[in-house]
Structure 1
């Protein structure tokens, strides 16, 4: 595996190992000495630049005095990371599958997600019929159904009772006026946005047309934030996707998010606008 750019699961494993070590107060060199390895090896593990063997993970857990449950979880992360492709830019069905698996893991452990989706409703807030209208082109019905169910299942990170993520959805006003799936599908989708926006952990914000150009106009992106690791950006376009973890690249997207939030309507004002759009559609013959 490459030791320059951490792959998603290796990145998460390293962050978990570093957090566990720091909680014990044990320094890098002391841990390395007890493991009889160079401290630079431990540094690479914690940065996600190298995947430790399951034996090495077990040894780290033993030195740190971690519980059996924590040891098993970290060893499983190591097993998963070993089989992960080093290149996190993916194109085509096989690459999409790898990136989706990583995205699901990132969504599961994230504490906050900001989805900037300029022209469509963010995936985690899509209704079944809205998602089907987007995914059905060129797909057999059975395959579309599987993809739709998977997308709906991903919403569990928002709706789960224990530690749901903080989810912020940002859309251009134009996204509310699309006709994806037809009028009835759009009405149902907009109503669902209002319902999800009532959750304490969900903010839905609309960028008004009057805002002019914003970084959101440059394209969609998802910013994932974690309790124990630096943020990660996920980009997706047609049949390609990428994860960005370089500090400078991610920082640019954090700044873009801040710029977008300055011009986006508040959650309350956004809900009023969505309600107005629903009412206008209902009265349109």
Structure 2
């Protein structure tokens, strides 16, 4: 059986946070290497997320970096466990044959993030899709050929939506271009049900939905869809996922993430306020009559 590598995104998250603790403590890479009795190259690879961090090494690094706050130690240990966890241990393992590495990374990051902000140009975002809408999108993508593959991918998407419910749901904020409401996916019945589903989801206290109308004209987010994942306590660990037909791309540099934070802020300010957005969704839903 081939070895399944740990999530590189989670590994870089852990490495980035360890680097910040090291620098805050004034510890050089040489001193960190001495604490682990290893080379500076290994410390560099840890901080870049290229190698997993074993629990004894993490404990030694936290001691060397004087990480004494219990909450910080628990967070680092939890992140290390997730980063080192084999993907076969996740609920999604039975479906890995129909999931890309980037999509698996996305599922893992959704499991630990505190919030998601997304802008969508033409499609209802996955976490807000009905089963019928999601199936129509999956079939149209032509990425999955057999009915079994399509069923599996749709099942994964529906399971992901559980992050919007439960005891610790994520804060979810979606700005939809008005075209999302008019792009007929799956036919009029599917669209009507999907728009009503948006109205129902928007009633949840952790879900905000806005519509950016055609009348706003050109705006800074019109070049493509993206997701901004935010994390508790450490804004410096926020991530951006840009969506493209050839494959989604993670962006982790602070300058890149800051750019998308500004893009989303511009999009939400240009969009209709939530009450007006829901009124528009309601009007469009009435247009989809049998």
Shorter-chain TM-score: which interval? 0.7 to 0.9
Q: Secondary structure at the match of 1:121?
A: coil
* 1:277 partnered with 2:279: no
Flag the 1:78–1:268 CA change in 2: closer, same or farther, 3 A. Answer: closer
Q: In 2 relative to 1, CA 143–44 (structure 1 residues): closer, same or farther, beyond 3 Å? A: closer
> How far is 1:143 from its partner?
0.8
Conserved 8 A contact 1:10-1:81: no
Deviation at residue 216 of structure 1 after TM alignment: 2.8
**TM-score, length-normalised on structure 2?**
0.77
8 Å CA contact 2:191, 2:288 repeated in 1 = no
1:202 corresponds to = 207
Residue 126 (str. 1) matches residue 122 (str. 2)? no
- Number of the residue aligned with 2:116: 113
| CA distance in structure 2 between the aligned counterparts of 1:279 and 1:14, rounded to whole angstroms | 50
Structure 2 counterpart of 1:8: 9
After alignment, is 130-139 or 228-237 more displaced? 228-237
Superposed displacement of residue 56, structure 1? 1.6
Is the partner of 2:205 in helix, strand or coil? Answer: coil
Note if contact 2:10-2:79 (Cα within 8 Å) is conserved in structure 1: no
User: Structure 2 CA distance, aligned partners of 1:71 and 1:244?
Assistant: 21
Q: CA RMSD in A?
A: 3.4
- 1:75-110 deviations in whole A, cap 9, x for unaligned? 53353499xxxxxxxxxx989621111111111111
- The alignment's TM-score, normalised by the length of structure 1, stands at 0.78
Following the alignment from structure 2 to structure 1, what is the Cα–Cα distance between the partners of residues 276 and 76?
47
What is the CA–CA distance in structure 2 between the aligned matches of 1:241 and 1:211, rounded to whole Å?
27
Q: Once the two structures are superposed, what CA deviation does each residue of 1:199-255 show, in whole Å capped at 9, x if it has no partner?
A: 111110100110001233201111111123422111122241110112222222122
Structure 1 residues 165 and 192: CA distance shift in structure 2, 3 A: same
Secondary structure of 1:214's partner?
Answer: coil
Q: How does 1:37-76 map to 2 (within 5 A)?
A: 45-46=46-47, 48=49, 51-60=52-61, 73-76=78-81
Aligned to 1:268: 275
Aligned ranges 1:1-285 → 2 under 5 Å: 7-14=8-15, 17=18, 28=27, 34-36=35-37, 45-46=46-47, 48=49, 51-60=52-61, 73-80=78-85, 97-137=100-140, 138=142, 139-162=145-168, 164-227=169-232, 228=234, 229-282=236-289
Aligned equivalents of 1:111, 1:40: Cα separation in 2: 32
CA distance in 2, matches of 1:94, 1:28: 43
Structure 2 distance, partners of 1:276, 1:252, is 34
Counterpart of 1:217 in 2: which secondary structure? coil
SS at match of 2:123: coil
Distance 1:220 1:69, change over 3 A: closer
Asked whether the 8 Å contact 1:57–1:74 carries over to 2, the reply is: no
Work out the CA distance in 2 between the residues paired with 1:81 and 1:250: 27
Structure 2 unaligned regions, length at least 5: 1-6, 88-95
Could you tell me whether the CA contact under 8 Å between 1:96 and 1:241 is conserved in 2? no
Aligned-pair distance for 1:46? Answer: 4.7
